[in-house]
Structure 1
């Protein structure tokens, strides 16, 4: 199953659980061995694989124990500047806006009919 925005929360949890189970089995690891390596209970691993809602920390621990924590980087990649941003900045570091600090060259906005 492909996970999409149309998938229900339960369907996504179920699919993630099945994928975790397949990954564990492909490594020849039992639920008990994974639980011990991840520092969680065997019941926690069973719940994750069953698609039962749980804590994200437990999934992270299991992925780390299976040496696949890098999969989360694909899930939510780091924000990188667009090529256009890079061209406009020409290698200069991005300047963050500072709330409440106006640039010196900026004048207050007016309607244009004030004299």
Structure 2
């Protein structure tokens, strides 16, 4: 089941689409000409430019036809970011596996009163002890 497109993704589709259209106009080309050069349909070019989206491959084909594929590649380079440069000397794993232990963001709240030693569960219920009176 496909989930609705998140707002930041919809905004990025619109922004990148508009930028592709601007690149096309700067080059003095029609959507049909770009479609022919990219090997996609004119409708795909229009869908990209209007923010309706298309496959990543088709977007990259259009970017190549516009001469901006290298710009997109550089923008996606993780070593062009502060985090990437900071960790550039580390040996990064080829694969990152999910942790067997839940992280605080993935822990589901438990019923009140349940205690399993985790800091992410509700505190143990403390029962008030009835005090017994000594027989008189």
Scaled by the length of structure 1, what TM-score is found? 0.62
> Which 4+ stretches in 1 moved above 3 angstroms?
78-85, 94-97
Give 1:22's aligned residue.
22
Computing the radius of gyration from Cα coordinates, the structure with the larger value is 2
Give 1:33's aligned residue.
33
How far residue 66 of structure 1 moved from its aligned partner, in angstroms, is 1.1
Q: Measure the CA separation in 2 of the matches of 1:73 and 1:54.
A: 18
- Aligned CA RMSD, in angstroms, stands at 2.6
1:47 lines up with 2:59 in the alignment: no
How far residue 53 of structure 1 moved from its aligned partner, in angstroms, is 2.5
Structure 1 stretches lacking a partner, 5+ long:
1-6, 86-93, 98-115
How far residue 96 of structure 1 moved from its aligned partner, in angstroms, is 7.2
- Equivalent residues in 2 for 1:79-90, closer than 5 Å: 79=79, 82=86, 85=89
Deviates more, 1:65-74 or 1:23-32: 65-74
Compare relative contact order (CA 8 Å, sep 6+) and give the higher one, 1 or 2. Answer: 1
Q: Measure the CA separation in 1 of the matches of 2:88 and 2:44.
A: 46
Could you say if the C-alpha distance between residues 12 and 83 of structure 1 is closer, same or farther in structure 2, counting changes exceeding 3 Å? closer
Scaled by the length of structure 2, what TM-score is found? 0.53
3-state DSSP class of the match of 1:8?
A: helix
How far residue 78 of structure 1 moved from its aligned partner, in angstroms, is 5.0
3-state DSSP class of the match of 2:69?
A: coil
